[in-house]
Structure 1
Amino acid sequence: MELSLKGRTAVITGGETGIGAAITRALAEAGAAVVVGGILEEVGTTFARGLAQAGLTVTFQKTDVRKEADVNALVDGALRQFGAIDVMVNNAGVFDGFADCLETTEALWDQIIDINLKGTFFGCRAALKHMVTRGSGRIINTSSVGGLRGAADGLSYTASKFGVVGLTRQLAVTHTQYGITVNAICPGVIQTDIRGNSAAILGSDGPDMQKGVGSDPDAYKRLVPAKRKGTPEEVASVALFLATDAGSYISGQAIAIDGGWTAT
């Protein structure tokens, strides 16, 4: 089956960098009109412009997923421009630098939960208002191996990503009957700049993002059977599959893209 999204519209949060940027490109190259919502305005504008110049239908709108009004405006704008939303990818997220419980401040906890979990909830709710009426849709939420294992990340990040998996499963149970699939992708060790981007977004609330880095940068090789980091494109290929008709009977799943990490 061809992985085509011709004639369809996708909205993605956090689609301007890293895994999100790879998903944006994959959806657009499959034929979708993609509306990217992100907080890094200069980066997002430049990224979307480059894809548009390459002949793809991609636009960018500054969006802070901590604010429901911003998320609603992103979805409403896509509806006005393209008439429908077929795919919603809730990808916006930040990292907590492996901060454990005693290192996690209230401010850091609130920021991580608000962006990673509440922002995903806002995106799902905004999309579902439209998708339920249409009787079709694809929702893809970005969780993490940190949403499947307790030893992968810091406290607030782990809590937020486990929350995304739970949210995804509950929505699948309650909304698949309306022709809407809801799934989570769970990347493992992927080649991105999540630390740098998270530091820029969290500002003074952010922890030391270099914790766990430097003394043994190859430690992941003891955890990951593939003995390498994954690429954003490898994650994007799974998101694309779930977004197309090929994934029409998959719902409520948390799919690890981790080089075998969770099999150990």
Structure 2
Amino acid sequence: MFTPGLNRNWRRIELEASQMFKLDGRVAVITGGETGIGLATAKTFANAGVKVVIGGLLEEAGLKIAKEMSEAGGSVRFIKTDVRYQDQVEALVQAAIDQHGRIDIMVNNAGVYDGMASVDETSESLWDHMVDINMKGCFFGCQAALKHMVAQGYGRVINTSSIGGLIGGADGASYTAAKFGVVGLTRQISKTHSQHNITINAVCPGAINTDVRGNSAAIVSSAAEFMQRGVGSNPDWIKRLVPAQRKGEPQEIANLIYFLATDEASYITGQAIAADGGWTA
């Protein structure tokens, strides 16, 4: 039996715990938020009371998702955005500022896949798509968000890399190069901006149950012929290489992104965190 003093302390601890991991009222911008990991993240944020602005290329899907989440009580807006173009990314971030007065969370998630194309199979067009969308788009998103975050003295930046940004044997040449670049960019920015109460981290998913192959083939026609290769397309490879014996779900990555956006993750910065069912172990 607790003594009265201990009862009071226990109630205080319970109250403090109930206030942990809260993001209600925060403002988040998510690129590539209309499908896959980005969509799971947008829904997770919206359900937690975050005001969400999604930028993406797939306009029909984006508008549909924003409408559905808004009708369910969330604050969600979609803006068609091609992250290869700096002015479009800046306009996306500015739209969040104009509507909500600030930006607290930037999730640079927009990405396409090269389907395991080797270096000798990679055309200049395929290379440019992988680097421009996966890495340059991430750079534009960081740059656009950070100038506001520095001014307000607070921010959370989460960049979607891949285990292909940690090891050389998971993906094709151009995708691997771009995702390694995302990890390097994340670490460098953390060195220059963490003193402003801003954390910058990268999540590195393994094989995840999304339609990244189909979406990538639609956006990058030069990658379409390679999309049936790799671990994600072969259940036997999944069982052989992934200790968890399965693909991950988008929600499992969204949960990690959510945590990194909270104040409880305030001392985690400059990290590239694998969520891969043990693949890189």
TM-score for the superposition, normalised by structure 2: 0.91
- Which residues in structure 2 correspond to 1:225-244 (within 5 Å)? 225-244=243-262
Query: Which residue of 207, 224, 242 maps to 2:242?
Result: 224
| Cα distance in structure 2, aligned partners of 1:70 and 1:216 | 37
Of 45-54 and 202-211, the range deviating more from structure 2:
202-211
Is 1:135 paired with 2:146?
A: no
The one-letter amino acid of 1:237's match is N
Report the CA distance between 1:194 and its aligned residue. Answer: 0.3
8 Å Cα contact 1:39-1:64 kept in structure 2: yes
8 Å Cα contact 1:199-1:206 kept in structure 2: yes
CA, structure 1 residues 73+157, in 2 after alignment: closer, same or farther (shift >3 Å)? Answer: same
Is 1:10 paired with 2:44?
A: no
Is 1:174 paired with 2:228?
A: no
| Cα distance in structure 2, aligned partners of 1:207 and 1:244 | 40
- Find the residue that maps to 2:216 and give its secondary structure: helix
Is 1:79 paired with 2:97?
A: yes
CA, structure 1 residues 25+216, in 2 after alignment: closer, same or farther (shift >3 Å)? Answer: closer
- Find the residue that maps to 1:102 and give its secondary structure: coil
Report the CA distance between 1:212 and its aligned residue. Answer: 3.9
Structure 2 gap ranges (5+): 1-16
8 Å Cα contact 2:112-2:215 kept in structure 1: yes
| Cα distance in structure 1, aligned partners of 2:163 and 2:232 | 22
Report the CA distance between 1:236 and its aligned residue. Answer: 0.4
| Cα distance in structure 2, aligned partners of 1:205 and 1:238 | 29
Query: Which residue of 72, 91, 99 maps to 1:54?
Result: 72
8 Å Cα contact 1:230-1:258 kept in structure 2: yes
| Cα distance in structure 1, aligned partners of 2:235 and 2:278 | 19
The one-letter amino acid of 1:54's match is A
Query: Which residue of 253, 257, 263 maps to 1:245?
Result: 263
* Root mean square deviation of aligned Cα: 1.4
Query: Which residue of 272, 276, 281 maps to 1:254?
Result: 272
Partner of 1:125: 143
8 Å Cα contact 2:216-2:223 kept in structure 1: no
8 Å Cα contact 2:231-2:237 kept in structure 1: no
Is 1:88 paired with 2:111?
A: no
| Cα distance in structure 1, aligned partners of 2:96 and 2:138 | 17
| Cα distance in structure 2, aligned partners of 1:61 and 1:125 | 19
| Cα distance in structure 1, aligned partners of 2:113 and 2:239 | 21
Is 1:110 paired with 2:128?
A: yes
CA, structure 1 residues 208+41, in 2 after alignment: closer, same or farther (shift >3 Å)? Answer: same
Report the CA distance between 1:155 and its aligned residue. Answer: 0.3
Report the CA distance between 1:147 and its aligned residue. Answer: 0.4
| Cα distance in structure 1, aligned partners of 2:162 and 2:48 | 24
TM-score for the superposition, normalised by structure 1: 0.97
CA, structure 1 residues 220+213, in 2 after alignment: closer, same or farther (shift >3 Å)? Answer: closer
Identical pairs, percent:
63
Structure 1 gap ranges (5+): none
| Cα distance in structure 1, aligned partners of 2:141 and 2:232 | 36
8 Å Cα contact 1:107-1:205 kept in structure 2: no
- Residues paired across the two proteins, number: 263
Report the CA distance between 1:72 and its aligned residue. Answer: 0.4
- Give every structure 1 segment of 4 or more consecutive aligned residues whose post-TM-superposition deviation is greater than 6 Å: none
Report the CA distance between 1:213 and its aligned residue. Answer: 7.4
